[in-house]
Chain A
Amino acid sequence: MSQFQRKAGLLATAVAGVALGFTAITSAQAADPIRIAYIEPLSGPFANVGEMGLFHFRYTADRINEEHGGIMGRPIEIVPMDNRQSPSESAQLVQRAIDQGIQFISQGNGSNVAGAIVETVDRHNRRNPDRRALYLNYAAIDPALTNDRCSFWHFRFDAESRIKMAALSDFMMGEEDVKKVYLINQDYSHGHVVAAEAKRMLAEKRPDIEIVGEVLHPIGQVRDFSPYISRIRASGADSVITGNWGNDLTLLIREANSAGLDVGFYTYYGGGLGVPAAVGDRGIGTLFQITEWHANLPVEQGWSDNEEWMVGYKERHPQTDWYYQRVYNMFMMLKAAIEADQSTDPLDVAMNLRGMEWESPTGTVWMREDDHQLHQDMYISVMADLDGDQVKYDTENSGVGFSTIAKVDWEDTVLPTSCNMRMPR
């Protein structure tokens, strides 16, 4: 054998070897799922919230796997982890997820928990640039997360608290009946922000509105809201603003209802978990919510794909409703960001997510690069009787649904940010 032949043979073997190695890698990748850690309360007083979120994640992942072949042909797998609504436990779970090789971490319930996760992910990524992780936040709306405490590794897909309060107070500005407002919120960062922003914005927009009372109650611990209701009544309020969620809102409204308290409820989460069922038809015209989506929006707007998606969810989980449209946006944007560079490396994904303008079935959404806050159209809706036409779907089998009364375009939700983003080196 000549020297040349031997060299060529070696080269061929090497090429074949490398090619073989490549196919091995790609096929391994094809089988290898893209895992997303879902860190939420799956036990304790907020377990119901955590479980409903998990339904959303699984449903979305399954449908993307079936209809779009997952992400880059790799299936999405949701890894649920129970944080018992505790910030310290969540920080440990983040570490455990990263140790298992999970690159994407998602959480939303509780801005205090979100704060702990941002810190953990940020610190981890700084110390271990070779195995970073990305935090996808779908519901924690404390403004600090995209302002003073912002992080390159955190992306928020829900509108932050100030955006929601701005929209809500704009709407209340036009409501002449609103004269005396009572603020009741959970005693943690999110509740504090809602109360403070409500006071600040109402003072600016409607100085004639009087804040007749303000109370912070312990989160997830109050069983009996009757004392709070008698305080609201004693204050003579005609409207209540609350950022409460989960049982803290259900019990509050149920108690107000049975006491016959006749006030308007301006809420962040009035269309979620147990609230519509607790209120029933007594909420018609008095229960308002500010969200990026509600079940009758696709009917009103003629989004048939979106409606089909929602109905599909209801068929799979008849006890609950499709609620977090942003979970869909989050998954699809993650898919787009990964597939743009064919890389799941959190740094590449983050660079692609920054500034991404994406056409969702529910309108354009924009991820601002300055602070990683998603901007999307917001809607104020009120509880209404089903009429078979515009108000087609009820919420939580309660017989009453929501109907849009005001829309805020995403361009109008842009607020200044104090975020000084520290870019990774």
Chain B
Amino acid sequence: MLETIVFSLLNGLLYGMLLFMLSSGLTLIFGMMGVLNFAHASFYMLGAYFAYTLGMYTGFWVALFLAPILVGALGAITERWGLRHVHQHGHVPELLFTFGLAYVIEELVRLFYGTLPMDYRMPEGLDFTLFTLFGTNYPAFRAFVLVVAVVMFIGLYLLLKKTRAGLIIQGSLSRPDIVAALGHNVPQVFMWVFAFGTALAALGGVVGGIHFVTEPGMAFMMGPIVFVVVVLGGLGSIPGALIASMIIGILQTFVLSVDFSIAHIGAWIGVTVPPDHLFATVWYLDSTRIAPVLPFLILVLTLIFRPRGIMGKREA
């Protein structure tokens, strides 16, 4: 039992951290610009593909920094020459723009790289077992992913709380009109935040592409769950995104790791439902089959009972 708990925590932590890398950028963009960026996970995918391609020439370590910068530049271009034009027409066209962009990026990736998974591997320096616990190996690469995520969180937090740029960003998050009135170029702030957000997603992709599989479907796989994190954590809140990622990551891993159904509670309090009963399907539903819908259940409940999320200041 202890074994299951420890490994569920470790695995959930890792999954949560990867979710955080993806959602931190999105929550900034969403919170500030009000744009539900459907293409956000596509930038995550681009991060993985760029790092794979660059890695062949420069090695992994250079690609780890270069790929997010490249993707960030693409993000800036997208904002400056794409979103900003669409912005004048309101939020719905913006939403549709990012929606279309996600498909365009997927098709382009497919065109250039094909549909087969890339042979994107971890650098040899990280290909060893860090420690063995209860007979299960914990690969060093996972610890590396955790370190990257933690460094990212600290950096992001300091940037937002301790620097002048962070002050302006925070201001633009809640009252962009006042920030503009103070003489700041709000559209430019938007562009930087969008670029920065996509670069963060790309960083997630650089490590996520190795941990999972680098293939054109990876964006659509991660897309929906990231929105759950953003809504649960609260718009624009980085600590909120972190907490929400952890909750989702660990909860989902736990539900999958334990063998559990309502019937177990029933047996405990002495209630049983016959297998041919109307509610038997729900009653005996294995927890592993609940796991995939769990994040979306949380999304729905959050929107009903706490629309501003855990740490958010505004309603979603």
Question: What is the interface of chain A, defined by CB distance below 8 A to chain B?
Answer: 42-48, 50-52, 187, 213, 215-218, 221-224, 226-231, 233-234, 247, 250-251, 258-261, 274, 277, 319-320
Within 8 A of A (CB), among B1-50: 3-4, 7-8, 11, 14-15
Interface pair B110/A47, CB less than 8 Å apart: yes
Known: A48-B116, A228-B256, A260-B136. A247 touches B15 (CB 8 A): no
Q: Which residues of B contact A229 (CB under 8 A)?
A: 136
Interface pair B221/A221, CB less than 8 Å apart: yes
Binds A, one of B68-76, B93-101, B211-219: B211-219
Is there a chain A Cβ closer than 8 Å to B119's Cβ?
yes
Within 8 A of A (CB), among B78-117: 106, 110, 114-117
Interface pair A247/B256, CB less than 8 Å apart: no
Known: A187-B289, A223-B221. A250 touches B115 (CB 8 A): no
A342, B217: Cα distance in complex, Å: 43
Interface pair A230/B217, CB less than 8 Å apart: no
Interface pair B257/A230, CB less than 8 Å apart: yes
Minimal beta-carbon separation of A394 from chain B (angstroms): 14
Interface pair B117/A274, CB less than 8 Å apart: yes
Of A43, A247, A258, which one neighbours B137 at CB under 8 angstroms? A258
Interface pair B115/A227, CB less than 8 Å apart: no
Q: Which residues of A contact B213 (CB under 8 A)?
A: 247, 250-251, 274
A260, B139: Cα distance in complex, Å: 9
Interface pair A247/B215, CB less than 8 Å apart: yes
Q: Which residues of B contact A226 (CB under 8 A)?
A: 7, 11, 14-15, 253
Q: Which residues of A contact B129 (CB under 8 A)?
A: 260
Interface pair B139/A258, CB less than 8 Å apart: yes
Is there a chain A Cβ closer than 8 Å to B292's Cβ?
yes
Of B106, B110, B215, B257, which one neighbours A231 at CB under 8 angstroms? B257
Q: Which residues of A contact B136 (CB under 8 A)?
A: 229-230, 233, 259-261
Minimal beta-carbon separation of B45 from chain A (angstroms): 13
Known: A52-B116, A224-B15, A226-B253. A217 touches B288 (CB 8 A): yes
A222, B292: Cα distance in complex, Å: 8
Q: Which residues of A contact B281 (CB under 8 A)?
A: none
Tell me the nearest residue of chain B to A228, going by C-beta.
B256
A307, B257: Cα distance in complex, Å: 45
Q: Residues of B within 8 Å of A, CB-based: how many?
A: 40
Is there a chain A Cβ closer than 8 Å to B135's Cβ?
yes
Task: List 21 contacting pairs A-B, 8 Å CB cutoff, sorted by A.
Answer: A43-B216, A45-B220, A47-B215, A50-B115, A51-B114, A51-B115, A51-B116, A52-B116, A224-B253, A226-B253, A227-B254, A230-B3, A230-B4, A230-B8, A234-B3, A247-B117, A258-B137, A258-B139, A260-B129, A274-B116, A320-B116
Known: A52-B116, A261-B136, A277-B119. A227 touches B292 (CB 8 A): no
Known: A247-B117, A261-B136, A319-B116. A227 touches B8 (CB 8 A): yes
Q: Which residues of B contact A50 (CB under 8 A)?
A: 115
Is there a chain A Cβ closer than 8 Å to B298's Cβ?
no
A154, B270: Cα distance in complex, Å: 50
Interface pair A223/B3, CB less than 8 Å apart: no
Known: A217-B288, A227-B252, A233-B135. 12 other contacts (CB 8 A): A43-B106, A43-B216, A47-B115, A47-B216, A222-B292, A227-B256, A230-B136, A247-B213, A259-B137, A260-B137, A261-B136, A319-B114
Interface pair B221/A45, CB less than 8 Å apart: yes
Query: By CB atoms of chain A within 10 A, which of B15, B215, B220 has the most?
Result: B215
Tell me the nearest residue of chain A to B221, going by C-beta.
A223
A197, B238: Cα distance in complex, Å: 49
Provide the B108-135 mask, 1 if CB < 8 A to any CB of A, else 0.
0010001111010000000001001011
Q: Which residues of A contact B7 (CB under 8 A)?
A: 226, 230
Is there a chain A Cβ closer than 8 Å to B222's Cβ?
yes
Q: Which residues of B contact A228 (CB under 8 A)?
A: 256
Q: Which residues of A contact B252 (CB under 8 A)?
A: 227
Q: Which residues of A contact B292 (CB under 8 A)?
A: 218, 221-222
Q: Which residues of B contact A42 (CB under 8 A)?
A: 115
A46, B137: Cα distance in complex, Å: 29
Interface pair B288/A216, CB less than 8 Å apart: yes
Minimal beta-carbon separation of A56 from chain B (angstroms): 14
Tell me the nearest residue of chain A to B220, going by C-beta.
A44
Provide the B153-181 mask, 1 if CB < 8 A to any CB of A, else 0.
00000000000000000000000000000
Minimal beta-carbon separation of B18 from chain A (angstroms): 9
A227, B291: Cα distance in complex, Å: 11
Of B117, B135, B253, which one neighbours A227 at CB under 8 angstroms? B253
Q: Which residues of B contact A46 (CB under 8 A)?
A: 217
Known: A250-B213, A261-B136. A48 touches B117 (CB 8 A): yes
Minimal beta-carbon separation of A280 from chain B (angstroms): 10
Q: Which residues of B contact A231 (CB under 8 A)?
A: 4, 256-257, 259
Within 8 A of A (CB), among B165-223: 212-213, 215-217, 220-222
Q: Which residues of B contact A224 (CB under 8 A)?
A: 11, 15, 212, 253
Within 8 A of A (CB), among B237-259: 252-254, 256-257, 259
